[in-house]
Amino acid sequence: MISALGAICGLLVAGAAWANDKVVLGTNWLAQGGHGGFYQAVADGTYEKYGLDVEIQPGGPQVNNRPMLAAGRLDFLIAGNLLLSFDNVRNGIPTKVVAAIYQKDPQALMAHKGQYEDFAALAQAPAVLMGKDGQFSFWQWMVASKGFRDEQLRPYGYNLAQFLGDETMVQQAYGTAEPLYAKAEGAEVDTFLLADQGWNTYGATIETRQDLIDENPDLVQRFVDASIEGWYNYLYGDRSAAYDAIIAANPEMTVEKLDAEMTQFESLDIIDTGDAQEKGIGALDEARIEAFHDLAVEAGIIEAGSVDLSMVADSAFVNRGTGLEIKEKLRAE
């Protein structure tokens, strides 16, 4: 009996040793194409290959996943741009960026097709619809550096009615969202990505806690590597399993909507561009982080000296060319 119990206990211990590490990933909104690489890595077994059991916890209008990371209820968080990371540092929240999936922030301005010749001409528009977050971030930069005026500012309530009813109206847009919504309402638009005008923050950053970096860097590396591979498989391979997972998590999505979103990502050149071409998706550059910090200071978005840049990001987990061979293989097929 004792030997039998010992054998059973041995099997249980061995089983525990081979169990995948449980990881909870929080996103910044409802499941969508812009999260596709993470859903891909779950659906096609990439996370499992790296010894990870990943649960994706979507955000949404009633869900703020951001405090859940610092509280230890999430292990990783898909954040927005670097301003959020600067805020964490200023507030003493011990989190760091370990990868940037979007080399360009998808924030944009949207105008009716052909109404304005170029981005510079938008500064002469009678009115610009802008949400509160935008008013206290990139709008300040647009006023300080791009010739826009506070007199143009109108509140954007995340409803297209005002824009659709006025051919001269310009509005804030997420490059892969509002332009598609406008098209669905029959309005052709021009989309002006702020990143192409100098708004040089990263987007869709992956954040984790400093204690996880310190205590389990191997887990952080495996999660980052598997996520990057998931993104390459999603961008260049068969997305159907990821689409199924996204639609299951957010039934408002359809294959047609996801296809349109990904076409927009590609046309705006948001993900696999810039440093990602040589260093791999997720690439981070400390000089670029410093440059965006300086832009934010000059625009009055943050105060000089309020952010210790050494606490914002850790680039040790990226810039290794991870996944480039997957891209090469898939594009050759």
Task: Answer whether CATH 3.40.605.10 is correct for domain 19-104+201-332.
Answer: no
Please state the domain extents for the chain: 19-104+201-332, 107-197
CA-CA distance, 316 to 208, in Å (whole number)? 13
Is 200 in contact with 194 (CB distance < 8 Å)? no
Domains 19-104+201-332 and 107-197 share a fold: yes
Instruction: Indicate whether 7 pLDDT > 60.
Output: no
User: Could you report how far apart the first and last alpha carbons of the chain are, in Å?
Assistant: 58
Q: Which amino acid is at 141?
A: W
Q: What is the mean pLDDT of the chain?
A: 94
Return the ∠ at Cα 235 (arms to 229 and 238), rounded to 5°. 90
Task: Summarize pLDDT for 117-126 with one digit per residue, the tens.
Answer: 999 999 999 9
**Nearest CA among 145, 28, 144, 131 for reference residue 81:** 28
Predicted confidence at residue 213, as pLDDT, reads 98
25-50 pLDDT tens trace: 999 999 999 999 999 999 999 999 99
Arithmetic mean of pLDDT, 63-79: 93
CATH fold of 107-197 reads D-Maltodextrin-Binding Protein; domain 2 (3.40.190)
104-144 residue pLDDT tens = 999 999 999 999 999 999 999 999 999 999 999 999 999 99
pLDDT in tens, 296-330: 999 999 999 999 999 999 999 999 999 999 999 99
What are 130's two structure tokens? 């802008």
Give the span between the Cα atoms of 128 and 117, in whole angstroms. 16
